[in-house]
Amino acid sequence: METVILEAGSPEQIRSAVTQAASSLRRGELVALPTETVYGLAACASNPEACAAVFEAKERPGFDPLIVHVSGKEMLETVADIPAETAEAVHRLISEFWPGPLTFVLPKTSAVPDIVTAGLDTVAVRCSNHPVFKAVIKEVGAPLAAPSANRFGSISPTSSSAVMTELSGRIPLIIDSGACSDGMESTIVRVEASGKPKPFIHLLRPGPVTVEMLKKIGKVITGKLLPPGEKPEAPGQLSTHYAPQTSLQLLTKPADFKPVAGRRYAMLSYRGQPKDGYIDLHPWHKVEILSPGSGKLPEAAVRFFFALRKLDECGADTIIAEPVPERGVGLAIQDRLRRAAASH
């Protein structure tokens, strides 16, 4: 299969790309689309055969559910039933963070095929804020299932070239709208009534919508990664995920680094500051810095998967990652680093 990339930069290109993408999706084909988080591999969510093709192209296990994307509240009601006891909290979160990088796990309707939810009675749903993705879903007029456009377990793609590296020859079409603005997969939550004014918000996967943001609306309960063999209740919960082909070691302090003679080490640095104690530990084969100098966590998140992919391709034997502060979106970065390290 030949994989074609369509540019969606100018208004004319966007109109043409949206038309072609929507037409392909209606025919049951797969299309890689940009979102504000990472590029997604889209299929019509109501088409079981198309969704099965998503699993096949990604080599994704059937027990790992997909995220369903909707255009807004009206389309949400076609795929999810919001329980009465949590409706007020869910709608407050929607008003605050949609469209945007927040995914809800909600009871599903019969319109969602079991393959999408991995047989669960819940569905993960979000509403993207990316103009191209929004235009495509509006043109299609139906929900789209769209996990990240990469092979299962590997580095999430934040550019069309990264999608091509992952899925060339496996899918027919990629819509190129440049780099993703957030660079980190969506936050996933499940809302539970608490019997008090503020609900419980179970954080199933950290992301751009941070704990600090969610605390304004409810009490945030953070969970642990699933142990091997346990089936997830939502996408992105597996303990090994988001990993480069090259082995990765996440340090907690500089003294943890014990180099082996003859091995080539690359460094994923948070801000490249010698005073942090990591950048001068070793004559690194290659260095990528997430937020040079200042250490701004949103900038680090945007660069994270791009930098990790560059290090994966540099020929090193091991990638050494220094820790990132676990506040704001730094919690999501550390989450991805831990899972990448656990994959080897």
CATH number, position 68: 3.90.870.10
Per-residue pLDDT tens over the stretch 69-103: 999 999 999 999 999 999 999 999 999 999 999 99
The answer to whether residues 149 and 292 belong to one domain is no
Looking at the structure, do residues 161 and 260 belong to the same domain, yes or no? Answer: no
Confidence check: pLDDT of 294 > 90: no
Is residue 200 domain-resident? no
Question: How many independent structural domains does the chain possess?
Answer: 2
Please indicate, yes or no, whether residues 46 and 161 belong to a single structural domain of this protein: yes
| pLDDT number for residue 92 | 96
Between residues 230 and 326, which one has the greater pLDDT? 326
Residues 146, 22 within the same domain: yes
183 assigned to some structural domain: no
- Is the domain of 172 the same as that of 257? no
Same domain, 172 and 258: no
Is residue 277 included in any domain, yes or no? yes
Is the model's pLDDT at 307 over the cut of 80? yes
Residues 6+ apart with CB under 8 A from 309: 155, 162, 165, 244
For residue range 222-268, list pLDDT tens digits in order: 977 666 666 787 887 776 778 899 999 999 999 999 999 999 999 99
pLDDT band with cut points at 50, 70 and 90 for residue 325: very high
Give helix 297-312 / helix 330-342 axis angle, nearest 10°.
Answer: 20
Same domain, yes or no: 156 and 288: no
Task: Evaluate whether residue 98 is within a structural domain.
Answer: yes
Last residue of a domain, one of 176, 198, 222: 176
Same domain, 144 and 9: yes
- The whole-model pTM stands at 0.95
Over the stretch 33-69, which tens digit does the pLDDT of each residue have?
999 999 999 999 999 999 999 999 999 999 999 999 9
In the prediction, which pLDDT does 36 show? 98
Average pLDDT over residues 187-215: 95
**Residue 204 in domain:** no
- Are residues 172 and 253 located together in one domain of the fold? no
For position 308, which CATH number holds? 3.40.50.11030
On whether residue 108 sits in a domain, the answer given is yes
- Locate 157 and state its tokens: 């793609």
Residue 212 included in any domain: no
Per-residue pLDDT averaged across 167-189, rounded? 97
Last-in-domain residue among 120, 144, 176: 176
Question: Is 182 domain-assigned?
Answer: no
Tell me, yes or no, whether 158 and 9 share the same domain: yes
Instruction: Please report the pLDDT score of residue 182 as a whole number.
Output: 95
Which domain does 294 fall in, by range? Answer: 247-342
pLDDT at 225 (0 to 100):
66
Write b or e for each residue in 225-261: b if 16 or more Cβ atoms lie within 10 A of its Cβ, otherwise e: beeeeeebbbbbbbebbbbbebbbbbbeeeeebeeee
